[in-house]
Amino acid sequence: MDFMLDKKHEMARQLFKEFAEKEAKPLAQEVDETEQFPAETVAKMKKAGFLGIPVPKEYGGQGCDPLTYAMCVEELSKVCATTGVIVSAHTSLCCDPIMTFGTEEQKQKYLVPLAKGEKLGAFGLTEPGAGTDAQGQQTKAVLDGDEWVVNGSKCFITNGKEADVYVIFAVTGTVEKRGKKMKEISAFIVEKGTSGFTFGTKEKKMGIRGSSTYELIFTDCRIPKENLLGKQGQGFKIAMHTLDGGRIGIASQALGIAEGALERTIEYVKERKQFGRAIGAFQNTQFQLADMATKVEAAKLLVYKAAMAKATQKTYSVEAAMAKLYAAEVAMEVTTKAVQLHGGYGYTREYEVERMMRDAKITEIYEGTSEVQRMVISANLLK
Amino acid sequence: MKIVVCIKQVPDTKGGVKFNPDGTLDRAAMLTIMNPDDKAGLEAALRLKDQYGAEVTAITMGLPKAEEVLREAMAMGADKGILVTDRVLGGADTWATSQTLAGAIRNLDYDLIITGRQAIDGDTAQVGPQISEHLDIPVISYAQNIKVEGDSVIVERQYDDRYHVVKAQMPCLITALAELNEPRYMTPGGIFDAYDAEITVWGRANLIDVEDSNLGLKGSPTQIAKASDKVRKGAGEKVTLDPTESVDYIMDKLVTRHVI
């Protein structure tokens, strides 16, 4: 067992770090303040190949592994969690399901431009009445000739208005499972600009404020029959598979936020003086930092292990759930302690830890709440 | 078109500087980066590759560890990397370095050689022009813009308050300024490919038309008497005075020290 990164992963981390420091960090505060989507940074990430890291080269991607992708989201999130989630939602939630379940034609038409970064992707599963309970879906798709007619809405969609390609889910009928009538859910690829597909309200959020979170509205939206992703009725399976990968992305984001907050705090406690000494000289500060650093390291091991599991194992739901559960809770705890160690200054927008604490909270909620992760983990223990 | 780009792994000025007992830099012990002027030279070559199509070969002389800078060059888009490394080449000054690089480049087909203007560790700006002398080809230094026209290059050569437009027939050598361009980032896939690729490693035996007396520390006319890290200044003197007194205080100090 080797816990060291090899040279190519080290160099990739160096690249992500340099990019994050130079391109994303200077804009992070402004992106948060103005709720502006960082389009300029996304254009630069396209050039640098960050939008198709784990996609094979034959489909326009970089041909790297999930660990490299996880490190990219981690390094971006250290300085700007908004930028981190843009990459995560695009890659894990849109590129990945098309790569895994798409036909060759769908891959050529959608995955290639997505992986090259020419198009941005999004994922629409959540509805006002269907969050953790995916069976609560109300959006319907009915086959009419050569087209599916979609009606309904999706909410809290990351990259909402900025994306070009959306993987969405809709009820296509009913099926009987163990004597119970269940909704049959199917997945579809929808392009921006399709007639009947519009955007609702933009969410005003606590954190990751630049990430363009929108409602998607489908009113008699007609999409070609061939845009069904996977088989009819395979939607739930596709959603769960996609979220397993997505959780590794969000776990990486959470890890990055925690690391970023720890770095800022270490700098601050060396500078800030009280009672004639730097506050880092007090044992309380030292013990807090020791606990923060230990938890960050444990989170990192879980996240990297889950990323490696995605590369080598057929299923990795438990690894992904553990990584996301732990990294998200560590992000919340570490950022809260970081604000506390910054004192009154930490509560102001002048210091980045204030933003990081707000950004951290969402990692315990989206792509499966911490409670859902506990359900996944315990279900595996008790099966 | 075939372009050779000479690059150097140099100490990262953000890290500490360490010396060997003979006064030369202890490169193995320091954090390193690709020399900024060389990186601009590489970017210029890659842009010519994008525009006209070219094969770009990055070459460096250094310790085995310098292979990293070649992988970086390949992750940015260079097609090949050549590492010239040998114990007998250690401790080289600009003369011995340019002799070594010229000896290595004699093995290659090239239309254009691009080097950085100077390296941030030595700041001599001599190696590029010296290579051109050894290879008997024209040199255009301090390039701030490069264009190719037929079998010639047209270069804007930076001058104090203006620039000169210089045309030279290829093969020729250009030295590049960091201001020439904004170098691209490596790509993640480029990094993976660079680590799967073979780096060509050459030693003394591969150098063509170079005398032993022109190589390494022995072949270096420059002898370093003493080297040191930059000396940290003290905390200085702090005084708190009202504005009029402050002016008098500063004037008095400047007069005492014969500044005015």
Q: Is residue B76 part of a domain?
A: yes
H/E element, A247? helix A235-271
Task: Give chain A positions within 8 Å (CB) of B187.
Answer: 48-49, 62
Task: Give chain A positions within 8 Å (CB) of B72.
Answer: 11
Sign of the alpha-carbon dihedral angle for A96, A98, A99, A102: positive
- Indicate whether B76 pLDDT > 80: yes
Q: How many domains does chain B have?
A: 1
Chain-centroid distance of CA B238 in Å reads 41
For residue range A98-141, list pLDDT tens digits in order.
999 999 999 999 999 999 999 999 999 999 988 878 788 999 99
pLDDT at A352: 97
Q: Is residue B27 part of a domain?
A: yes
- Indicate whether B13 pLDDT > 90: no
Q: What mean pLDDT comes out for the span B174-196?
A: 95
pLDDT at A199: 98
Please indicate whether, in this complex, the C-beta atoms of A63 and B195 are within 8 angstroms of each other. Answer: no
Q: What mean pLDDT comes out for the span A85-91?
A: 98
Please indicate whether, in this complex, the C-beta atoms of A47 and B191 are within 8 angstroms of each other. Answer: no
Q: Is residue B252 part of a domain?
A: no
- Indicate whether A289 pLDDT > 90: yes
Give phi and psi for A239, each to the nearest 5: -65, -45
Q: Domain holding B67: CATH number?
A: 3.40.50.620
Close Cβ partners of B230 (under 8 Å, ≥ 6 residues apart): none
Q: What mean pLDDT comes out for the span A30-59?
A: 97
3-state secondary structure chain B: CEEEEECCEEECCCCCCCECCCCCECHHHCCEEECHHHHHHHHHHHHHHHHHCCEEEEEEECCHHHHHHHHHHHHHCCCEEEEECCHHHCCCCHHHHHHHHHHHHCCCCCCEEEEECCCCCCCCCCHHHHHHHHHCCCEEEEEEEEEEECCEEEEEEECCCCEEEEEEECCEEEEECHHHCCCCCCCHHHHHHHHHCCCEEECHHHCCCCCHHHCCCCCCCCCCCCCCCCCCCCCCCCCCCCHHHHHHHHHHHHHHCCCC
First-to-last alpha carbon distance for chain B, in angstroms, is 58
Q: Is residue B222 part of a domain?
A: no
- Best of B46, B76, B187 to mutate (most A CBs within 10 Å, chain A): B187
Cβ proximity of A111 and A95 under 8 Å: yes
Q: What mean pLDDT comes out for the span A359-382?
A: 97
Give SS3 for A166.
strand
Cβ proximity of A214 and A198 under 8 Å: no
Please indicate whether, in this complex, the C-beta atoms of A11 and B71 are within 8 angstroms of each other. Answer: yes
Percent share of chain A, pLDDT over 70: 100
pLDDT at A135: 82
Q: Has A215 been annotated as catalytic? A: no
Indicate the residue of A11, A50, A61 with minimum beta-carbon distance to B191: A11
Q: What mean pLDDT comes out for the span A207-225?
A: 97
Indicate the residue of A18, A47, A64 with minimum beta-carbon distance to B188: A64
Q: Is residue B19 part of a domain?
A: yes
Please indicate whether, in this complex, the C-beta atoms of B187 and A12 are within 8 angstroms of each other. Answer: no
Cβ proximity of A285 and A269 under 8 Å: yes
pLDDT grade, residue B256 (50/70/90)? confident
Q: Angle, nearest 10°, between helix axes A39-48 and A7-19?
A: 150
pLDDT at A361: 98
Give SS3 for A125.
coil
Distance between CA atoms of A309 and B147, rounded to whole angstroms? 49
**Concatenated DSSP letters of A252-270:** HHHHHHHHHHHHHHHHHHH
Strands A277-278 and A273-274: antiparallel
Strands A214-224 and A228-229: unpaired
pLDDT at B230: 66
User: Range of B35's domain?
Assistant: 2-214
pLDDT at A153: 97
List the catalytic residue out of A176, A350, A367, A371: A367
Q: Is residue B23 part of a domain?
A: yes
**Concatenated DSSP letters of A269-302:** HHH-EETTEEGGGSHHHHHHHHHHHHHHHHHHHH
Cβ proximity of A152 and A195 under 8 Å: no
For residue range B19-45, list pLDDT tens digits in order.
888 777 777 777 889 999 999 999 999
Distance between CA atoms of A28 and A210, rounded to whole angstroms? 9
Give SS3 for A221.
strand
pLDDT at A231: 98
Q: Is residue B53 part of a domain?
A: yes
Q: What mean pLDDT comes out for the span A319-336?
A: 98
Region class of A367: left (phi > 0), else alpha (psi between -120 and 50), else beta: left
pLDDT grade, residue B233 (50/70/90)? low
DSSP state of A128: T
Please indicate whether, in this complex, the C-beta atoms of A64 and B192 are within 8 angstroms of each other. Answer: yes
pLDDT at B52: 92
Q: Is residue B175 part of a domain?
A: yes
B36 interfaces chain A, CB cutoff of 8 Å = no
Amino acid at B206: N
Of B14, B19, B49, B48, the residue nearest B32 (C-alpha): B14
> Which of the given ranges, B11-15, B72-76, B175-179, has the highest pLDDT on average?
B72-76
